[in-house]
């Protein structure tokens, strides 16, 4: 691995790689052709003391992949007028109509405030209806409306197309799923 210590820096100053390694205890490895580091990211780091160094961090990598996957699905679902978060909520409500807010929050792993904000937008669009719970009138339950079902039906083929593209890019999808499931168990 190339050493960047002192590369054109004032006396006593730390190179970016030294700082990151010390501050975050991250493993630094040389860039490899075909690694997950994109060519544009590598070019963007050139001239900044990062040439030939890649920071390996599960959290950072997962966040990068998440942002990119969200963009793929946002673009795919845009013609249906729905975003990935709304699509996920609609899938749960289609599968289990009458879910309480608490049960829906657990199902999609969101806090109640974020879920409320997402559902409010879907209610304003006329896609979701809220009603009092059967056993406990203090509990709100959600269900897709006919308009919500129509949006979901338009979105499903778009989601499937995006999923096919993602699976083609990752290779063995089962291996990826096993890795994701293992990571979920960490938390």
How many structural domains is the chain composed of?
Answer: 1
Percent of the chain surpassing pLDDT 70: 67
Q: Which residue has the higher pLDDT, 110 or 138?
A: 110
Residue 42 lies in a domain: no
> Does 132 map to a domain?
yes
State yes or no: pLDDT of 71 exceeds 50: yes
**Residue 41, domain member (yes or no):** no
With cut-offs at 50, 70 and 90, classify the pLDDT of residue 21. very low
Question: Is 9 part of a structural domain of the chain?
Answer: no
User: Residue 89: which domain range?
Assistant: 55-185
Asked if residue 48 belongs to a domain, the reply is no
Q: Is the pLDDT of residue 91 over 50?
A: yes
Q: Residue 25 falls within a domain, yes or no? A: no
Q: Is residue 29 part of a domain?
A: no
Q: What is the pLDDT of residue 2?
A: 42
What DSSP assignment string belongs to the chain?
A: ----TTTTPPTTPPPHHHHHHHHH--EEEE--TTSSS-HHHHHHHTTTT-TTEEEE-HHHHHHHHHHHHHHHHHHHHGGGT--HHHHHHHHHHHHSTTEEHHHHHHHHT--HHHHHHHHHHHHHTTSEEEEE-SS-TTSEEEEE-HHHHHHHHHHHHHHHHHHHHHHHHHS-HHHHHHHHHHHHHH-
Q: Do the domain assignments include residue 24? A: no
Per-residue pLDDT tens digits for 114-124: 999 999 999 99
Lowest pLDDT segment from 38-47, 120-129, 133-142, 143-152: 38-47
Give the CATH number, domain containing residue 166.
1.10.10.10
- Averaged confidence pLDDT in the chain: 79
């Amino acid at each position: 691995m190339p050493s960047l210590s002192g590369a054109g820096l004032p006396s006593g100053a730390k190179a970016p790689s030294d700082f990151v390694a010390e501050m975050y205890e991250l493993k630094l490895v040389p860039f490899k052709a075909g690694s997950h580091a994109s060519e544009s990211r590598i070019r963007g780091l050139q001239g900044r003391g990062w040439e030939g160094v890649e920071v390996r961090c599960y959290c950072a990598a997962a966040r990068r992949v998440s942002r990119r996957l969200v963009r793929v699905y946002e673009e795919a679902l845009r013609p249906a007028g729905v975003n990935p978060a709304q699509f996920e909520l609609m899938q749960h409500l289609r599968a289990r109509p009458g879910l309480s807010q608490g049960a829906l929050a657990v199902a999609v792993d969101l806090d109640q405030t974020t879920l409320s904000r997402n559902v409010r937008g879907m209610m304003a669009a006329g896609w979701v209806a809220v009603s009092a719970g059967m056993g406990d009138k203090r509990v709100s339950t959600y269900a897709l409306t006919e308009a919500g079902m129509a949006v979901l039906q338009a979105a499903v083929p778009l989601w499937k197309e995006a999923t096919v593209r993602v699976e083609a890019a990752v290779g063995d999808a089962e291996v990826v799923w096993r890795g994701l499931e293992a990571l979920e168990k960490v938390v």
